[in-house]
Structures are given as structure tokens and as C-alpha cells.
Structure 1
Amino acid sequence: MTKNRSGSKKLEKGDEVAWSSHGSQAEGEVEKEITERTEAAGRTVDASPDDPQYQVRSEKSGRSAVHKPSALRKK
């Protein structure tokens, strides 16, 4: 795991991560890094190269979600 220009942790596709979801912990895998404004996981994601977000797939539900690096913990 490296850091990007803003000092946030840099995750890679396939990394196992955990995050807080509705009061409990969810776990899954990074599907991709998002570095531009786009539609992902059913919403508009306002990301940039300096402020990336990550699309992750929950191993429990199989659904995709998008999170900022600060919300994800690498397992």
C-alpha cells in the first residue's frame, strides 16, 4: 500500500478491505480505483486523481459500493 499525492492510502484492485456499514462491519474486495467524476454503484462519484475513491464489492451481499480511502481498512 502506497500513498497518493494527498497522503491517503493507495489501495489496489483485489485488496481485501473492511468498512463500517449501517452500524456493523462489512468486508469485501477492491474492484477498482475511481479517479474522475463518474457514475458507479448507482450514484455519481465526484473523484479526482488527487482525491480518489474506491469501488468495493461486499463479500456478504455481492453488491458494489463506493468509498473514500479514509473509510476503508486494509485487512
Structure 2
Amino acid sequence: MPKTFKSGDHVSWNSEAGRVRGHILRVHTKDVEYKGYVHHASPDDPQYEIKSDKTDHVALHKGRTLRLLRN
């Protein structure tokens, strides 16, 4: 069973630039088009829309790439 998160959770993930931290803005449970690509999502395997703490960049990631941080 994949990890599940909710809006507002503080999470981290790996990127090309290293470990990034951010807060979940939205949880997508249906396919969503974002930045010209279709990101596949379902209730069992959602996509998480996350805003970076440092750069305000917004990205979509699956739960398996995320780690929950303690605030």
C-alpha cells in the first residue's frame, strides 16, 4: 500500500539539486494535466502537488517519492 499524505503535510523528496522540502497544496486522485504533461493519478495512487519551501516552485510527485517531515 502506497504512503498517503494530506494537504498541509510537510514533506521532502530528492531532486536533481538534492533534497527538497515543501508543503502539499493539493492531492490529485484523477489524471491531471500539468506543465504540458498528463500525470496519472487514482484514489489508490494519487499525485501530490507540492510547493517548495525555498523557491516557491510547484511540482507533482507520487507518494512513494515523498518522506513526511516533522514540523
TM-score by length of 1: 0.83
d(CA) in 2 for partners of 1:61 and 1:44? Answer: 24
The secondary structure found in structure 2 opposite 1:70 is helix
Structure 1: gaps spanning 5 or more residues? 1-6
Output one character per residue of 1:41-64: Cα deviation in whole Å (capped at 9) or x when no partner.
x13211111211111000111011
Residue of structure 1 in register with 2:60 after alignment: 66
Alignment of 1:1-75 (within 5 A): 7-40=1-34, 42=35, 43-75=37-69
Structure 2: gaps spanning 5 or more residues? none
The secondary structure found in structure 2 opposite 1:10 is coil
The secondary structure found in structure 2 opposite 1:17 is strand
Residue 9 of structure 1: how far off its partner (Å): 1.4
Residue 8 of structure 1: how far off its partner (Å): 1.2
d(CA) in 1 for partners of 2:12 and 2:44? Answer: 22
Structure 1 residue runs of 4 or more that deviate by more than 4 Å after TM superposition: none
d(CA) in 2 for partners of 1:27 and 1:48? Answer: 24
Identity %: 35
